[in-house]
Every structure is written in structure tokens, then in C-alpha cells.
């Protein structure tokens, strides 16, 4: 069955895949779902050693099987490596969509970055991805997804007639703040882990500066800026109102985001989780400018914007939780209007801590995440199979496992983490992989059987538990 992203944007009309329930997997004896070694896109001795190390700590056979399938899924199935102008090049697809999203490609390899210094081949993969992302940003800093061939026209069915300034090499052009945040975060993580200056050349510097400049333009202090987007689509969250510039705002120093990390249009253009993410990564990229390149001017420019956006957030984005405390709004317009909800894609209000946009022990974050995991969030669903957060992208009553993983990463108590692991173990529908979403009452109905970002995040959770809470994995879940 051919999957198209547009197919799952119709809510109740979404395409879902069905599979046998976990008993079928048990009948197989939990045989590996990884491709045969000769068919794997990329192999790393450091990753294989990590799989063995962590799997040995997992007593539950089904959970161990899922980890072994999911953790290397990005490397096994989505990576293409090569060289461009004598330098490493890495192109990473999302899974069942053959384009490269800046967000997804960064998140897909984040769980491996701590191993980059142990394996020259893996190190080269990161060098190539950082370089590829820089070249993509230089093609168009407003695009969210790119083609492998920078001269190619998009082959995505749903973007063929978009009314925007489409450029060769761009697969889709939805402006999302996080599309630039994630490469900044990845660059900083790689620098911190390796102190390798190789990928941070002049091309990277130009792209990083362009990203900061784009954030500043999208504060829209001097007018609407160059970005506009409209799509002839059945789903209204696929397009923007008012000639493609989005709903009106009062210019308060926040950065406008026309789309969410789900690729759905924002209700109000100041998307708070993404602005908080921007504050964090602007400071991270300043560190790379200063330490890897000795560029104090670029570092100071990024830090100045971070301080301005942070001030605007504190002045305008905090709302009452109804119980005497304050929480972050999900979106605001600067006129005093706001919406409280959460979406499963990260950056989300629930996911701020896992991307270093908030401290896990910060009282405002804790209250916000708690409220998002409740009936105050219209996209929080409870069913017979599990509970968790979804979003408008695939419709009501569809829980995203990514939200369950995030909830586990936020948790301070073993009972919550164990419950989340149980939900993840019992909702993969016998496939051994993490899906985009599943029906709250019937996990055999799910979207995206091959979604590498979700698999990577699950693998990251298990690695963190193996290192920080090994006793949790020492018994059956």
C-alpha cells in the first residue's frame, strides 16, 4: 500500500494500517524485524555494541525485541551516504516518505550522537548530515523538507500546486520554526560530544547565520516578510488564511510560525513551544559559533535574539492554569488571545524538557505538562488500549506513541514510566515498531508503519532507562 502524507490528514477519513495483535509476534519467538545485514543502509560497530549492551539489561523479551528493531531503524532503512565536493554527505528520509525533513533527520540520529566519537564511520555520517542540512537551509530557510537532488522538482503528490515560492530541491515549503531549531540542536550536540570542527565550515556558518536572520525576519517588525503559503486542500490545516500570510498578530518580539511540527497550520502564529525551543537553540548555536569557529559576532547576534524572544515569552505567553498557578499557552496572537492544547509532535508543551527548552524540575513546565496530560487538552485521549496525546493531524481518538514516550521521559516516578512502557509494548500491533498513531481502543488501527523518528525516540528512552533506571528494565513490563 502506498502511503502519502496527505492521506492521513483527513481525520475520520484517515488511512490506517491494520496488523495482527502482539500474540502473533509472540508466536514468532520475537524474530528480529531488522533487514538482513547485507540489506542495511548503514552499519556501525558502536551502534551494534550499544544494542547488545542495552538489550542485555532488558528482562522483558518483547520489550527487548522492540528495542532491537527500533533503535537502529534509522540506520538500517533511511540513510544514504556519499560525498559532495570531496566532503561527507548524508541524506536521511523519514521512512515511508522519501524526502528529508530537517526536523526528522535531526531527531532520527539524536539517539546516536553520544557514540559518534567511538566510530569514525558514524562520525562521518554526522559530518555529512550537518553539511547537508546547511546546504538545504541555504536553498530555502522556509522549507521543511527537501529532495536528495538539489536541482529536482518536488515529487510529493500534495505539494505540486502549492502557491508559494517553490525552489528546486525543495520537497515541501511549510514554514515551521522547529525546522531550523533541530539542525542547530544537532550541530551543538555533535560539537559537545566530539569537538570536531570539520563540519563547521563557511557553508555551515552561512546557513546558521541565515537561520538566525530568518527568525528575525519572522518577528515581522518591518512587515509580513517574504513567506506566504496556500494550498488547495480538503483539510483547512493544510493552508494559510489572508493571502497565505496567516492570522494577524501584534508584533511583540516573538517569532511567527505558520505551521506546527505536525505540519498543520497554526491557529495563532506565535507557537509557544517552538519559540521556547528557539531560545534554547539560539544559545546553543552561539556556543558553536564561538568555540568551533571563533566567531564572537555571530554568537552575540544569536544570543541577543534569544534574550529578546525569552523576554517576550515571559511577558506574553504565560496564562493561568485555573488553580492559582501559571502555565505556558500553546499559541497566542499578541492581542491577548490564546489557546491551550498540546500536540504530540515535539516541540510540544509536554516535550520541552527533552529538547532542553525547559528544565524538568521547572515548576511552570511541570504544571504545563501535567495540564497537557489531562482533559484540559482537547487532544488528550483515554481509551481501553492506552491514554495519550494526539492532534488534529490524523484526527480525534488517535494517540501518538511519541506522546507516551515523552510522558515517560518527563516522569520522576517508576510507576508512571512502567505504565508508559506497558502501553508502548501492548500497542505496536505485533509489528515490533512504533507507529505515528493508533486508535485509543484498537491499536491494530494505526498510521505510518515505517516512521523512523518515533522508533528513534523509543530507542532513546530505553537507552536512558538502561543507564539511569536499570531496575525498571530488570523485570517484565
pLDDT at 475: 86
Q: Name the percent of the chain lying above pLDDT 70.
A: 94
Average pLDDT over residues 442-460: 97
Average pLDDT over residues 240-264: 97
Alpha carbon 311 to chain centroid, angstroms: 25
For residue 400, is it left (φ>0), alpha (ψ between -120 and 50) or beta? beta
Average pLDDT over residues 190-209: 98
pLDDT at 476: 83
Average pLDDT over residues 226-238: 94
Average pLDDT over residues 415-426: 98
Average pLDDT over residues 50-66: 97
pLDDT at 21: 42
User: Is pLDDT above 90 for 350?
Assistant: yes
Q: What are phi and psi of 39, to 5 degrees?
A: -100, 0
Average pLDDT over residues 47-59: 98
pLDDT at 2: 32
Give tens-digit pLDDT for 294-349: 999 999 999 999 999 999 999 999 999 999 999 999 999 999 999 999 999 999 99
- Can you tell me the distance from the alpha carbon of 227 to that of 213, in angstroms, rounded to the nearest whole number? 13
- Can you tell me the distance from the alpha carbon of 132 to that of 102, in angstroms, rounded to the nearest whole number? 10
- 364 grid coordinates: 511552570
pLDDT category, 4, cuts 50, 70, 90? very low
pLDDT at 360: 95
Average pLDDT over residues 93-99: 95
- Can you tell me the distance from the alpha carbon of 389 to that of 164, in angstroms, rounded to the nearest whole number? 32
Give tens-digit pLDDT for 150-173: 999 999 999 999 999 999 999 999
pLDDT at 124: 98
Q: Is the Cβ–Cβ distance between 60 and 418 less than 8 Å?
A: no
pLDDT at 375: 97
Q: Is the Cβ–Cβ distance between 414 and 457 less than 8 Å?
A: no
Most distant CA pair in the chain: distance in Å? 63
Average pLDDT over residues 61-85: 97
pLDDT at 15: 52
- Can you tell me the distance from the alpha carbon of 155 to that of 172, in angstroms, rounded to the nearest whole number? 9
pLDDT at 8: 38
* Per-position DSSP letters for 367-426, written without gaps between them: HHHHHHTSTTSTTEEE-SS-EEE--TTT-TTEE-HHHHHHHHHH--SHHHHHHHHHHHHT
User: Is pLDDT above 90 for 26?
Assistant: no
Query: Which of these ranges, 15-24, 211-220, 419-428, has the smallest mean pLDDT?
Result: 15-24
Q: Name the percent of the chain lying above pLDDT 90.
A: 93
User: Is pLDDT above 70 for 3?
Assistant: no
Average pLDDT over residues 28-35: 88
- Can you tell me the distance from the alpha carbon of 277 to that of 141, in angstroms, rounded to the nearest whole number? 17
pLDDT at 18: 57
Amino acid at each position: 500500500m502506498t502511503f502519502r502524507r496527505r492521506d492521513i490528514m483527513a481525520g475520520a477519513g484517515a488511512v490506517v494500517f491494520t496488523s495482527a495483535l502482539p500474540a502473533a509476534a509472540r508466536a514468532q519467538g520475537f524474530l528480529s524485524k531488522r533487514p538482513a545485514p547485507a540489506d542495511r543502509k548503514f552499519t556501525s560497530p558502536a551502534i551494534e555494541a550499544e544494542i547488545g549492551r542495552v538489550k542485555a539489561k532488558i528482562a522483558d523479551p518483547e520489550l527487548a525485541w522492540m528495542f532491537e528493531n527500533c533503535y537502529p531503524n534509522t540506520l538500517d532503512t533511511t540513510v544514504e551516504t556519499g560525498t559532495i565536493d570531496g566532503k561527507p554527505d548524508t541524506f536521511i528520509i523519514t521512512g515511508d516518505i522519501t524526502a528529508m525533513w530537517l526536523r526528522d533527520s535531526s531527531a532520527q540520529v539524536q539517539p546516536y550522537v553520544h557514540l559518534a566519537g567511538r566510530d569514525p564511520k558514524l562520525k562521518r555520517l554526522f559530518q555529512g548530515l550537518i553539511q547537508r542540512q546547511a546546504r538545504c537551509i541555504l536553498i530555502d530557510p522556509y522549507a521543511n523538507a527537501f529532495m536528495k537532488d538539489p536541482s529536482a522538482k518536488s515529487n510529493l503528490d500534495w505539494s505540486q500546486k502549492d502557491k508559494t515560492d517553490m525552489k528546486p530541491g525543495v520537497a515541501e515549503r511549510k514554514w515551521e520554526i522547529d525546522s531550523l531549531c533541530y539542525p542547530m540542536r544537532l550541530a551543538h550536540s555533535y560539537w559537545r560530544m566530539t569537538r570536531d570542527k570539520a563540519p563547521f565550515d563557511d557553508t555551515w556558518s552561512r546557513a546558521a547565520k541565515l537561520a538566525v536572520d530568518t527568525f528575525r525576519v519572522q518577528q515581522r517588525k518591518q512587515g509580513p516578510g517574504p513567506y506566504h503559503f496556500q494550498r488547495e486542500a480538503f483539510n483547512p490545516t493544510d493552508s494559510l488564511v489572508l493571502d497565505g500570510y496567516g492570522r494577524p498578530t501584534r508584533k511583540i518580539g516573538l517569532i511567527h510560525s505558520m505551521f506546527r511540527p505536525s505540519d498543520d497550520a497554526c491557529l495563532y502564529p506565535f507557537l509557544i513551544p517552538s519559540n521556547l525551543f528557539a531560545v534554547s537553540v539560539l544559545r546553543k548555536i552561539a556556543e558553536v559559533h564561538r568555540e568551533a569557529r571563533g566567531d564572537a559576532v555571530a554568537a552575540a547576534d544569536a544570543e541577543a535574539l534569544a534574550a529578546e524572544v525569552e523576554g517576550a515569552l515571559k511577558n506574553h505567553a504565560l496564562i493561568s492554569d485555573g488553580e492559582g498557578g501559571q502555565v505556558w499557552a500553546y499559541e497566542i496572537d499578541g492581542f491577548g488571545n490564546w489557546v491551550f492544547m498540546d500536540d504530540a509532535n515535539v516541540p510540544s508543551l509536554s516535550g520541552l524538557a527533552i529538547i532542553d527548552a525547559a528544565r524538568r524540575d521547572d515548576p511552570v513546565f511541570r504544571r504545563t505538562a501535567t495540564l497537557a496530560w489531562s482533559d484540559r487538552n482537547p487532544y488528550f485521549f483515554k481509551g481501553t488500549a492506552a491514554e495519550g496525546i494526539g492532534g488534529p493531524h490524523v484526527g480525534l481518538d488517535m494517540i501518538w506513541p511519541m506522546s507516551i514516550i515523552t510522558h515517560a521521559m518527563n516522569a520522576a516516578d517508576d510507576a508512571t514510566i512502567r505504565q508508559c512502557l506497558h502501553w508502548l509494548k501492548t500497542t505496536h500491533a505485533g509489528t515490533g515498531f512504533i507507529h505515528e498513531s493508533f486508535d485509543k481502543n484498537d491499536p491494530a488501527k494505526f498510521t505510518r508503519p515505517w516512521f523512523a523518528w518515533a522508533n528513534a525516540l523509543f530507542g532513546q528512552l530505553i537507552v536512558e532507562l538502561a543507564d539511569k533506571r536499570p531496575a525498571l528494565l530488570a523485570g517484565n513490563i
